[in-house]
A and B are shown apart, each in its own frame.
Chain A
Amino acid sequence: EPEVTQTPSHQVTQMGQEVILRCVPISNHLYFYWYRQILGQKVEFLVSFYNNEISEKSEIFDDQFSVERPDGSNFTLKIRSTKLEDSAMYFCASSALGGNTIYFGEGSWLTVV
């Protein structure tokens, strides 16, 4: 069964460093997403991406965050200057269409120290 894959599974970084989280969405999907889950809290929407541009972003997704689809298969989330409060599980997701089932990856644990 096709799946969303994410790398790395876990990353520890120093505060102020840049981090890139990588995702390979399901191949025929058109919508791509990043969500995050701070330990013990709800899963929160960060950004949706369609047709090579951001279609919606949350208040969390400020100027330190960016997304890119550099080629036909990868979808990345960059955090420019990490803060302690960026420590969370980051999930990539994709769907064939905007209203269809959304499939999530296994997540990337980011720990900022």
Chain B
Amino acid sequence: KQEVTQIPAALSVPEGENLVLNCSFTDSAIYNLQWFRQDPGKGLTSLLLIQSSQREQTSGRLNASLDKSSGRSTLYIAASQPGDSATYLCAVVVPGNTGKLIFGQGTTLQVKP
């Protein structure tokens, strides 16, 4: 059974710092991996999608990597800003073409001015 874990559960950094959020999954047979941002009481905003055949994806200050063999993904945020404060979720799509996502519990990031 696929399980997704995110460490740390919470992270506080000063503005301007580069940071890495970690995601691990137990079964390397994934279809793809998606990173989301969730603001308190709000929906999930898709940040990046990495297909299982890809190693990384970039969008602006965000870079996500995927290492299927070790069951890990990282989300790198460059030059963090207070507006980046949110909970970041990773989720894997399992094979089977139903698009079902299995989520980690998230890392809550606070960027202090």
Contact = CB atoms under 8 A, between A and B. Distances in A.
Interface stretch (B13-21, B42-50, B60-68): B42-50
Interface stretch (A13-21, A80-88, A94-102): A94-102
Nearest to A89: B41
Q: Is the interface on chain A under 10, 10 to 19, 20 to 34, or 35 or more residues?
A: 20 to 34
A61 to B, nearest CB: 12
Q: Is the interface on chain B under 10, 10 to 19, 20 to 34, or 35 or more residues?
A: 20 to 34
A73 interface: no
Contacts of B46: 101-104
Majority-rule SS of A interface residues: strand
A91 B32 contact: no
Interface string A28-49: 0001010100000111110010
B31 interface: yes
B43 to A, nearest CB: 4
Contact of B99 (A33, A107, A109): A33
27 contacts: A31-B99, A33-B101, A42-B104, A42-B105, A42-B106, A43-B44, A43-B89, A43-B101, A48-B99, A48-B100, A50-B98, A55-B98, A56-B100, A98-B31, A98-B97, A99-B31, A99-B51, A99-B93, A99-B99, A100-B49, A101-B34, A102-B34, A102-B101, A104-B36, A106-B42, A107-B42, A109-B41
Interface of B: 31-32, 34, 36, 41-46, 49, 51, 89, 91, 93, 96-106
Interface of A: 31, 33, 35, 41-45, 48, 50, 55-56, 91, 93, 95, 97-107, 109
